[in-house]
Chains A and B, each alone.
Chain A
Amino acid sequence: MIKFESVVKKYPDGTVAVNGLDLVAPSGKITVFVGPSGCGKTTSLRMINRMIEPTSGTIWLDDQDTGKVDASTLRRGIGYVIQHAGLFPHRTIVDNVATVPLLLGRDKKKARSQAIELMERVGLPASFAKRYPAQLSGGQQQRVGVARALAADPPVMLMDEPFSAVDPVVRAELQDEFLRLQSELGKTIIFVTHDIDEAVKLGDQVAVLKVGGTLAQLASPATLLTDPVDDFVAGFVGRDRGYRALGFESGQLDPDTEQTVKLGDDAAAVGRAARDGWSLAVDDARRPLGWVRAAALAEGKQVTPELLHRGGTLAPVSGSLRGALDAALSSPAGRGVLIDDNGALVGTVTASEVVQRIESQLAGRRNGSDG
């Protein structure tokens, strides 16, 4: 657990970067600091490992007052991922990752072999071990940064915009892997970002900070989207709040059974399976491949990959209603494809079925909370 107790940081030039911050980041959870540029996110983060000393107030690490421990010792027990990775250009990747274990005086050989295991864990091939940071792409460098922070297996991780310097596709990939890793490791994490979508995706709880260094709201992502505490938070959370909040809404849908076709089936089979002129093609494991328009298939022709329309997204049946609605809206056939954990077809739903489900769920909650 990390606890901020009336923490203030006033820089020598008079700038008040953090103003009376009170906040608890629970153990084993991801707490995200989000807010506009200059609101004191980095300052708050760096006060935890005392790269910046608070002007007043106390930061507790479990029951330890961080102000009362030797700074270097404190830091070696806290993983830190810096923006733009901040890798040491003169050290190989494996030595970058092994930095803290080596500083702690661990056996060199062992530290290196552990570093290579860790590289693989964050999705880097072991063959990168002898390379230098300049020989890696931005996304790969970010992975090294995460591996380096994890190397001494610290219970606490501080991450300052770790995924900001990469393109959206790589960022989404890194985020997904980060969540998977955290589900295995269960670290206490404070994650800084200025991207509200990232905050909402990754956080168990999200702290929205205002310029001037005050806490505007501390809440779960769903609460933040559905119940922002003031205009500042509402504005910062941004457009499409209602739709984005659906990402946290799961609900039992009742998918319709879908007649399917396979590659190689002929026009007659497609015609038999089609509803509203479209039928769904699946592979041998019943994984959806795409939609075929019955009218596009001349008499006697077969289903080929070129004929498939692949625009529809696939939604896990156990996932959010947002995913299901998106699957329905993006489907060329108007029917959203639901899949199970193995990626196999469960059935399809229409947008109006999903919306009905959403409405009844929200109505139930409204009446419940009113009463």
Chain B
Amino acid sequence: MINYLKNNPDNVSSWFFTHLWMSVLPVVIGLIIALPIGWVASRYRWTYPPITNLAGLLYTIPSLALFILMPSILGTKILSPVNMVVALTVYSLALLVRVVADGLNSVAPDIRAAATAMGFSGIGRFLRVDLPIAVPVITAGLRVATVSNVSLVSVGALIGVPQLGSLFTEGFSRYIPGITLLGILLCLALALVLDALIVLGSRVLTPWQRAVAKR
């Protein structure tokens, strides 16, 4: 395992960074798209069931199938990383739409009414009241989406997009469990670091939550 790392430092580090951005970018894009959709689902209550059901349905598509289908949907090359990014964005989106809607719904009716009574307009209320209060719920969802992406990205090794998952296929084909183990450890480390960063970001954004906890 250590030997492999010594002999192929460039390979492994480039795979690590590919894995990193392939895990993170879809979550970012997914969140940006999920915010308006989640807002609609929470603002117009009747849209909540169809929107969240559709999102749930998307989530049940097997990942390998989606990766393989992407080129024919998007017209991209089979080996293009775009396929994976788009497919993972679909998963992140599916997960985050519900999270955003639930987060916005978690704002107490009293607080919404107060915001309206103070004269906040629709978008102002969303940005300055509802969204900040929904941050803890949304970041909890981001953690799940990010960590699950780290593991989903590695499946891409099967369709030949090189990243840490390539260590699994290589370890498997060369009968060297150490290489597979290295892949697992690196994936784990990546997931833990990303998770910790999200937790940290959430804490910075919500000083009021700690005030509550200290009470």
Contacts and interface: CB of A to CB of B under 8 A. Distances in A.
Interface of A: 49, 51, 72-76, 78, 80, 82-91, 99-100, 103, 131-132, 134-135, 148, 158
Given A49-B117, A73-B119, A82-B113, 18 more contacts: A51-B116, A74-B119, A75-B117, A83-B110, A84-B110, A86-B114, A87-B114, A88-B129, A89-B208, A89-B212, A90-B129, A90-B208, A91-B208, A100-B118, A103-B118, A103-B124, A135-B211, A158-B117
Contacts of B108: 86
B27 interface: no
- Interface centre among A80, A83, A90, A158, by most chain B C-beta atoms within 10 angstroms, is A90
A78 B114 CA distance: 12
* 10 shortest interchain CB distances as A-B pairs: A86-B114, A76-B119, A80-B117, A75-B119, A86-B110, A132-B211, A134-B212, A132-B208, A90-B132, A72-B119
A94 to B, nearest CB: 13
Contacts of B115: 88
- Interface centre among A75, A80, A82, A131, by most chain B C-beta atoms within 10 angstroms, is A82
Contact of B118 (A73, A75, A89, A90): A75
Contacts of B211: 131-132, 134-135
Contact of A72 (B120, B133, B135): B120
B110 A75 contact: no
A86 B212 CA distance: 16
Contacts of A131: 211
B114 A88 contact: yes
Interface of B: 108, 110-111, 113-121, 124, 129, 132-133, 135, 206-208, 211-212, 214-215
B111 A89 contact: yes
B119 A103 contact: yes
16 contacts: A51-B113, A73-B119, A78-B117, A80-B114, A80-B118, A84-B110, A86-B108, A87-B114, A88-B111, A89-B133, A89-B212, A90-B206, A103-B124, A132-B207, A132-B212, A135-B212
A87 B118 CA distance: 11
Given A132-B208, A132-B211, A134-B215, A72 B117 contact: no
Contacts of A82: 110, 113-114, 117
Contacts of B207: 132
- Interface centre among B108, B110, B118, by most chain A C-beta atoms within 10 angstroms, is B118
A141 to B, nearest CB: 11
Contact of B113 (A86, A132, A134): A86
Contact of B121 (A72, A86, A100, A134): A72
Nearest to B212: A134
Nearest to A89: B208
A96 to B, nearest CB: 9
A343 B84 CA distance: 81
Given A83-B110, A132-B212, A134-B208, A51 B120 contact: no
Contacts of A103: 118-120, 124
Contacts of A49: 117
B118 A76 contact: yes
A90 B133 CA distance: 6
Nearest to B114: A86
B206 A135 contact: no
Contacts of A148: 118
